[in-house]
Each structure stands twice: as C-alpha cells, then as structure tokens.
C-alpha cells in the first residue's frame, strides 16, 4: 500500500505538473513503517483479527514512520527539497490505503476464525485419553499406532512428520519421563518445536527456564522488582535523604533534647518489626510514651487520649514527627521512603494477629517497608479496631507492590505532605 501510494502520487504529479518526481519521503517511510509495525504488534494475529486494533496499530506505525522520516530529513538539511503538497498527498493516500487494507484483512480473518486458531496436537501414551477435554485439535496415542521414538525407520519418521505437520504447537504427555524425553529429542531433531505437559506444575506457573550447571531449572517465582528497579529506588531514597539531611539532622537533635526534657528516659524508642522478606529489623522512632508503660511488642495499639503517651508525644504523633528517626533506617537500607508500613509483631485486629486475619499478609513484605505508603495517603492510619482496617491496608500495600514505579513514589511522597497531620494519628 505504501508503494502503491508512492506510485499514485508520482502519476498525479506527472499529470498535474508534467514532471514525474515520486515522493522522496517514501524511501524512508517504507522500511521505518515495517520496523514500527513489527514492534507495535501490527502483525500479531490477535491484532489482525480486530478491525479497530488493526487499523489503530497500522496508523500509529505510519505516524511513527512519518515523524521519524521528517525529523531525519530536517536533521540532514534535505527537508527543503520535499514538496509539502506532494508529501501530504502521499501520507494521506497511504493512511487511507493501509486503513482499507487492514480493515479488509481483519474482516477476512474473522470470517475464517476457525482456520486461524492455534492448532495444538497432543502426542503421548494412553494418558492422552484423560486429556481429551483440553483445547486441542488432535490427540495422537503412540500406543494405539504402535510408534516408538527410534530414528532407524524412515517410513515411521515420514508418518510422524505428516501427522504433526500442520501443528502450531506439539505438546507431549507421557507418564514415564524417560519416554517423554526420547520423544522430545526425536521431534527436536526433526525440526519441530515441542512442549512438555507437566500437570504437577499447574499451580506453580513457571516463569522462565534457567540452568544449574547443565541441569535445567524452572523459575516459579521472582521478586517484585528487578535489580535495575531496586537500584533506581535505592538511589532515589539516598538522594532525598542526603538532600534533606542538613535540615532533618538539626531538627532531630532539637526534638531529641525536648523528648528527654519532657519525661524521663531515652529520646528514641527502638522496636523489633517485620521488614523485607519477613526479616526482623530494629525500627527507630522518637519515644512518645512513658518508659514504664512502653509496649515493646506492640500488643496494645495506641488509642485516642491514650494515658501512656506523654505531652510532647501527643504532638509528635499528631504531626507524624515521631517517624523522623526512621530516616536512619532508610539510610541503612532497612527501609525505603515509600513502601508498606512496618508492623509490630504483636499488632492485632479484633483480637487476631494481622497474619491470621489476612491470608496474603506476608506478601506485603516482599518489598522494603516505608516511611509512608499508598495505604497512608488513602487515610488508612491509626488503630486497627476492625478486621477490615488491616484488610484495607494490606490490599493497598499489595496494590503498590504490583504497580510500583518511581513516579508512583514521587506522587505518594507529595500526597503524604497533605496527610502528615491526620485525625487518626495518635
């Protein structure tokens, strides 16, 4: 369609001006379009089956190719040699042609949808009978055909090759692993892509294949963030902590003196909490309670007008300033600026420990705990008097883990400034 548009533009130019100069942009648009369309999935079968998705992807690819071509022409100072009217006519004609073509292809594929579905052949021993309910085109029982995975018989290899010739996927299902291995090796040598059906892996959902020495291993779980993302998040934390240090360090020093002057005891309260991968760490806060009434395990969550809290402690908790010393935990890599808030071991809701209330509770510790988090900016703060209180917080924490981005951390930090003073902070 791009070539047809270029030829048509050339003929129109010849008819109107008497000079047949084809659109020079076409030389760059054509290869660039093919690369863009491939990367944008314009040729993927699911896209080609959908009229709107197919047209949208082809026009997006054309826009990408045209933009790149015009920028390249501008960079090499040859854009002045282009005829703007001719270029506009060529691109418009190309857009119309591609739209009509992709719309027609999608309509044709939808009418022949049964012919374009992935054809799966299940090949195995008597176990294939129990797999007939699976979405496969054909099942081949090698026992019924008296086939054995040997390479010495060209007639057998011909029959086998013909039987699986039209398959998009060949899946092997054998009770004996050694026999399955032999068939996989044989089909691989014949040039077929082969898969192994392992019902025992259904609940594990393998993610990738790796090797330990020469033995293959299946990756069945990964951390929420790649090494690159973890490094990016850590660098962001350190940068902000170091930039804020000239202001935060003197403020912490002043508040430390005030805490000690307000009531007898140390300025800081250190409590064992659950951190990354469920490892314990010592979380540091300003002491806001009387020393003789301090709850080290966190069995008794604070209440409104809690008699254990000191005069200054009320102010520190209400303004969230009691959390400032945790910047040291962030600096040491035990916490992050943004993440699920670390909980005390004895924290409970309606008399039940958090992990007894929420089955997915431990999943929230797959990332570093944070000074603030998605749950906090949504107002989930204060005591967990009802089970729904902790359920809402864990749901927000898991949502944050699954949708993490550096931009999300930035948004949470800015929105935290609006909820530092909160009615549930006591």
The string of DSSP letters for 29-94 reads HHHHHHHHHHHTTTTSHHHHH-HHHHHHHHHHHHHHHHHHHHHHHHHTT-GGGS-HHHHHHHHHHH
313: which 2 tokens? 């402690």
CA angle 189, 191, 192 (to 5 degrees): 110
154-158, 185-189, 205-209, 419-423: least confidently modelled range: 419-423
pLDDT (tens digit per residue) in 333-382: 999 999 999 988 888 888 888 888 888 888 888 889 999 999 989 888 77
**Two structure tokens written together for 212:** 């330990």
Check whether 296 has a pLDDT greater than 70. no
Q: Which residue has the tokens 């060529």?
A: 90
Q: Is the pTM of this model over 0.85?
A: no
pLDDT at 22: 57
Would the pLDDT of 114 be above 50? yes
Strand partners of residue 285: 269
d(CA 156, CA 134): 27
Chain centre to alpha carbon of residue 161: 40
Report strand pairing: 352-353 vs 348-349.
antiparallel
Instruction: Say whether 194 sits in a helix, a strand or coil.
Output: strand
If one counts every other C-beta atom within 10 angstroms of the C-beta of residue 258, the result is 14
Cα 426 to Cα 381: distance, rounded to the nearest angstrom: 9
Specify whether the CB–CB gap between 183 and 123 falls below 8 A.
yes
The burial of 374, by beta-carbon neighbours within 10 Å (0-12 exposed, 13-18 middle, 19 or more buried), is given as buried
Q: Which residues contact 215 (CB under 8 A, 6 or more apart)?
A: none
Is the pLDDT at 18 greater than 70, yes or no? no
Q: Which residues contact 144 (CB under 8 A, 6 or more apart)?
A: none
Question: In the prediction, which pLDDT does 97 show?
Answer: 92
Q: How far apart are CA 141 and CA 175, in angstroms?
A: 12
Give the model confidence (pLDDT) of 159-189 as tens digits.
888 888 878 888 888 888 888 888 888 888 7
What is the C-alpha radius of gyration for the chain, rounded to an integer number of angstroms?
33
Q: Is pLDDT above 50 for 426?
A: no
Higher-confidence position of 369 and 223: 369
Q: Where are the alpha helices (DSSP H) in 271-321?
A: 311-318
Asked if the model's pLDDT at residue 307 lies above 70, the reply is: yes
Residues 68-113 have pLDDT tens digits of 888 877 777 766 666 778 888 888 999 999 999 999 888 887 776 5
Query: Are residues 234 and 208 in contact, defined by beta-carbon separation less than 8 angstroms?
Result: no
Q: Are strands 194-196 and 169-173 parallel, antiparallel or unpaired?
A: parallel
Q: Which residue has the higher pLDDT, 227 or 250?
A: 250
**Looking at the predicted structure, is the pLDDT value of residue 425 above 60?**
no
**What is the C-alpha to C-alpha distance for residues 120 and 194, in angstroms, rounded to an integer?**
11
Tell me how far the alpha carbon of residue 35 is from its chain's centroid: 25
Among the residue ranges 123-132, 228-237, 405-414, the one predicted with the least confidence is 123-132
Percent of residues, the chain, with pLDDT higher than 70 = 86
In DSSP terms, 336 is beta-bridged to 370
What is the SS3 assignment for 116-156? HCCCEEEEECHHHHHHCCCCCCEEEECCCCCCCCCCCCHHH
* Residue 241 to residue 220: CA distance in whole angstroms: 36
Pseudo-torsion of CA 291, 297, 303, 305, nearest 10°?
A: 0
Backbone angles phi, psi at 266, to 5 degrees: -70, 160
Coil/strand/helix, residue 256:
helix
Answer yes or no: is pLDDT of 314 > 90.
no
- CA-based nearest residue to 383, from 336, 317, 329: 317
What CA–CA distance (Å, rounded) separates 347 from 271?
12
**CA-based torsion, 53, 59, 65, 67: positive or negative:** negative
Q: How far is CA 315 from CA 68, 169, 262, 343, 378, in A?
A: 58, 66, 12, 21, 22
How many residues does this entry show for the chain? 426
Q: Is pLDDT at 283 greater than 90 in this prediction?
A: yes
* Predicted pLDDT at 224: 83
Which region holds residue 352: left if phi is over 0, alpha if psi is between -120 and 50, else beta?
Answer: beta
């Amino acid at each position: 369609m791009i070539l047809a548009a270029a030829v048509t533009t050339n003929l129109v130019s010849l008819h109107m001006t008497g000079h047949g100069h084809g659109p020079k942009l076409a030389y760059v648009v054509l290869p660039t379009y093919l690369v863009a369309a491939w990367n944008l999935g314009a040729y993927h079968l699911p896209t080609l089956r959908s009229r709107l998705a197919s047209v949208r992807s082809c026009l997006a690819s054309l826009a990408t190719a045209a933009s790149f071509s015009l920028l390249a022409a501008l960079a090499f100072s040859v854009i002045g040699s282009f005829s703007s009217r001719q270029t506009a006519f060529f691109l418009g004609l190309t857009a119309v042609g591609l739209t009509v073509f992709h719309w027609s292809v999608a309509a044709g594929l939808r009418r022949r949808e049964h012919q374009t579905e992935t054809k799966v052949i299940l090949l195995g021993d008597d176990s294939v009978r129990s797999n007939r309910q699976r979405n496969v085109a054909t099942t081949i029982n090698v026992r019924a055909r008296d086939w054995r995975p040997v390479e010495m018989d060209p007639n057998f290899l011909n029959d086998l090759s013909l039987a699986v010739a039209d398959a998009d996927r060949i899946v092997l299902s054998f009770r004996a692993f050694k026999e399955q291995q032999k068939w996989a090796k044989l089909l691989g040598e014949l040039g077929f892509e082969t898969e192994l059906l392992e019902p025992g892996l259904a609940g594990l959902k393998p993610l990738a294949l790796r090797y330990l020495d020469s033995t293959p291993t299946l990756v069945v779980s990964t951390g929420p963030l790649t090494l690159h993302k973890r490094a990016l998040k850590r660098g962001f934390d350190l940068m902000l902590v170091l930039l804020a240090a000239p202001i935060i360090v003197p403020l912490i020093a002043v508040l430390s003196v005030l805490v000690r002057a307000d009531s007898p005891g140390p300025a800081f309260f250190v409590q064992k909490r659950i951190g990354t991968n469920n490892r314990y760490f010592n979380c540091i806060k300003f002491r806001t309670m009387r020393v003789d009434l301090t709850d080290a395990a966190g069995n008794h969550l604070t209440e409104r007008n809690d008699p254990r809290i000191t005069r200054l402690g009320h102010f520190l908790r209400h303004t969230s300033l009691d959390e400032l010393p945790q910047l040291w935990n962030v600096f040491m890599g035990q916490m992050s600026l943004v993440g699920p808030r670390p909980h005390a071991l004895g924290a409970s809701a309606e008399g039940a420990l958090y992990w007894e209330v929420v089955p997915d509770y431990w999943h929230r510790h797959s990332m570093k705990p944070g000074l603030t988090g998605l749950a906090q900016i949504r107002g989930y703060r204060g005591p967990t008097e009802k089970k729904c209180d902790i359920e809402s917080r864990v749901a927000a924490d898991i949502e944050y883990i699954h949708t993490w981005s550096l931009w999300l951390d930035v948004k949470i930090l800015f929105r935290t400034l609006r909820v530092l003073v909160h009615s549930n902070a006591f």
